[in-house]
Structure 1
Amino acid sequence: MRLEVVQDVAAPRARVWDVLTTWERQPDWMLDAKAVEVLTPAREGVGVTLRCPTNLLGVTVQDVMRVTGWEAPGYLEVTHLGSIITGTGAFVLTPLGEDVTRVTWWEQIDPPLGRLGEWGASTLVLPVLRRIFGRSLARLAALAESDPPGADAAAR
């Protein structure tokens, strides 16, 4: 099951990247994230591992992710390693000008239960997740557009 949402942000790509990769601030904009904990000593690059208690349709599940793609400040990919949430997701930051960035967030999720799980996910879950992800990206945009430059880098 693939989900993709797009949001244009009135901020430079480096600023959006700073907001995106300040891990502990992700719950400030990601609606379904309750907290983010970095499990590795490294905080940047391939191999960073994160744990994020996530609200999945009213149930909290532990989403453990490992960064599998990192091309700052334009591409961040994670692989979901949990027993409930599995698959791959990525953020692609495309500059549309000096102070405008298009953020594309996609997830390729592997639903459990085979064909039945695929049907349920695409019919029932996908529309809900599309709204949640869209609202989350709007909140990411608001943070990137309003926070002073360097605010997130200073928080690291």
Structure 2
Amino acid sequence: MPVVSAVKDVDTLTMTFVAEFEASVERVWQVWADPRKLERWWGPPTVPATFERFEFEPGGQVRYYMTVPDGTKARGWWTMTAIEAPRHLEFDFGFADENNEPVDPKDCSHGVVTLEGLGERTRMTLVSGFTSAEQLERMAEMGMMEGMRLAQNQIDDLLA
């Protein structure tokens, strides 16, 4: 399994996921840069994602929804804040309403993705930062730790 660690740290208000893949940095970058590839792993296997808007550039807007088994759509948004292909990207993220607009832009989190070459392998580190311990715990209670672990473990199939 690609995920080698998943850590919730209340002191730093972060969740950190580290995964390693048998692929080059450039190939792993594509699972972020290509919305059709992103759809195949963003979310646990039983909760597929559909990206309706995907502006992969600093300041770009991303809108998506995840379809839960009962058919309900959970919507989310990203604002891309930094992109340094093929090794680094950052984005603010949160929940969206039925019009794909942020429910509460002030209640957002921040994601930082770093890709590091390890010879023929790539280490991907995703750090999600939160504004408060309450926000961190709310996301943990919603299953973010397990959901992200399940999601990232689908990336190997895309790289095969």
TM-score for the superposition, normalised by structure 2 = 0.70
| Structure 1 position 121, deviation (Å) | 1.9
Asked whether the equivalents of residues 38 and 48 of structure 1 are also in contact (C-alpha less than 8 Å), the reply is no
| Structure 1 position 119, deviation (Å) | 7.4
CA deviations 1:52-79 (Å, max 9, x no partner) are: 11469x8643212111010100011111
Aligned to 1:152: none
Amino acid at match of 1:73: P
SS state of the match for residue 26, structure 2? helix
Within a 5 Å distance, the mapping from 1:50-61 to structure 2 comes to 50-54=62-66, 60-61=73-74
* CA gap 1:44/1:53 in 2 versus in 1, 3 angstroms: closer
Aligned to 1:86: 108
Structure 1 position 38 matched with structure 2 position 60: no
SS state of the match for residue 63, structure 1? strand
> How many pairs were matched up?
134
* CA gap 1:89/1:55 in 2 versus in 1, 3 angstroms: farther
Structure 1 position 16 matched with structure 2 position 28: yes
Gaps of 5+ in 1: 147-156
Distance 1:25 1:38 in 2: 14
Within a 5 Å distance, the mapping from 1:65-84 to structure 2 comes to 65-80=78-93, 82-83=102-103
Asked whether the equivalents of residues 27 and 33 of structure 1 are also in contact (C-alpha less than 8 Å), the reply is yes
Structure 1 position 133 matched with structure 2 position 145: no
Structure 1 position 104 matched with structure 2 position 117: no
| Structure 1 position 122, deviation (Å) | 6.6
Amino acid at match of 2:62: L
Structure with the bigger RCO (C-alpha within 8 Å, sep 6+) is 1
* CA gap 1:142/1:123 in 2 versus in 1, 3 angstroms: closer
Identity %: 18
Gaps of 5+ in 2: 1-12, 95-101
